[in-house]
């Protein structure tokens, strides 16, 4: 989570008397359990295959962090349906965002290596949450730095609205109307050792 999202994590500084308090959060309820996430991914894998008439030219690209396990799981499901492997890669868009000045700068820079040639391919970008659309816009910039795909489609587990750019997902796990004072928190077992989607309210 980042500073430009209300869901920013606790930021404490010990080097001075100043400390930025974490926002107070209240959990409002669970939107999806682990098994609901799994079932949704199975449906999305079938939709991808159906709308792309197979998977011959597909390449899946997950956006760090939680888009990566989503892409890997969907690749495995598509492979099971179509009985052929699907190229899968990842993008770390930290340095491509257009609002870097307001980002929580992370100390570890991870190299972006999509892992296959995207030129001429039908690329499906994957992320956990679609909100303003700025991450996806940045991811597309990064993608086109790597080559020229034939098409780019977007898959998200949760579309929470509040777009600030003309970006829409083609494959959506669940559309959740939210207020700007709410946060969608996605947990995936590969990253969080837990698996669920919850709606959280920002109290401050």
Ligand X SMILES: O=c1cc[nH]c(=O)[nH]1
DSSP state of 86: -
Confirm or reject binding of residue 45 to ligand PRP (CB under 6 A).
Answer: no
For residue 31, with 0-12 CB atoms within 10 Å meaning exposed, 13-18 middle and 19 or more buried, which class applies?
middle
Considering only residues 124, 129, 143, 200, which one is a binding residue for ligand PRP as defined by CB under 6 A? 129
CB-nearer residue toward ligand X: 55 or 199: 199
197 binds, among ligand PRP, ligand X, none (CB under 5 to 8 A by kind): none
Residues near ligand X (CB under 6 A) are: 5, 7, 129, 131, 160, 183-184
DSSP state of 165: S
134 binds, among ligand X, ligand PRP, none (CB under 5 to 8 A by kind): ligand PRP
Please check whether residue 178 is in contact with residue 158, taking contact to mean a CB–CB distance below 8 angstroms. Answer: no
* CA distance readout (Å), 169 to 2, 174, 184: 22, 11, 17
54 Cβ partners below 8 Å, 6+ apart?
82
Q: Which stretch binds ligand PRP (CB under 6 A): 23-31, 33-41, 47-55, 62-70?
A: 62-70
Cα–Cα distance, 139 to 91 (Å, whole number): 7
Considering only residues 2, 40, 52, 57, which one is a binding residue for ligand PRP as defined by CB under 6 A? 2
Closest distance of CB 199 from ligand PRP, Å: 15
Cα–Cα distance, 4 to 62 (Å, whole number): 21
DSSP state of 32: E
CB-nearer residue toward ligand X: 8 or 52: 8
What is the residue whose two structure tokens read 């956006």?
63
CB-nearer residue toward ligand PRP: 130 or 197: 130
Considering only residues 6, 25, 65, 176, which one is a binding residue for ligand PRP as defined by CB under 6 A? 65
Confirm or reject binding of residue 133 to ligand PRP (CB under 6 A).
Answer: yes
44 Cβ partners below 8 Å, 6+ apart?
74, 155, 171, 173
Closest distance of CB 7 from ligand X, Å: 5
Cα–Cα distance, 74 to 71 (Å, whole number): 5
CB-nearer residue toward ligand PRP: 55 or 129: 129
Kindly list the residues in this chain that would bind ligand PRP in the complex (CB under 6 A).
1-2, 5, 63, 65-66, 127-135
């Amino acid at each position: 989570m980042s500073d430009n999202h209300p869901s920013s994590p606790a930021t404490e500084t010990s080097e001075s008397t100043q400390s930025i308090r974490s926002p107070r959060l209240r959990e409002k309820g669970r939107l999806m359990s682990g098994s609901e996430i799994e079932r949704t991914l199975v449906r999305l894998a079938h939709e991808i295959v159906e709308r792309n008439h197979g998977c011959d030219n597909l390449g899946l690209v997950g956006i760090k962090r939680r888009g990566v396990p989503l892409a890997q799981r969907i690749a495995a499901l598509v492979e099971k349906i179509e009985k052929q492997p699907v190229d899968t890669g990842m993008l770390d868009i930290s340095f491509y965002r257009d609002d870097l000045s307001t980002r929580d700068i992370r100390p570890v820079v991870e190299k972006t290596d999509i892992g296959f040639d995207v030129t001429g391919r039908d690329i499906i970008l994957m992320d956990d949450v679609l909100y303003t659309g700025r991450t996806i816009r940045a991811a597309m910039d990064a993608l086109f730095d790597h080559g020229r795909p034939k098409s780019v489609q977007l898959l998200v587990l949760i579309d929470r609205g509040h777009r600030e750019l003309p970006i829409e997902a083609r494959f959506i796990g669940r559309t959740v109307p939210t207020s700007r004072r709410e946060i969608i928190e996605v947990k995936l077992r590969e990253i969080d050792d837990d698996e669920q989607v919850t709606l959280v309210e920002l109290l401050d």
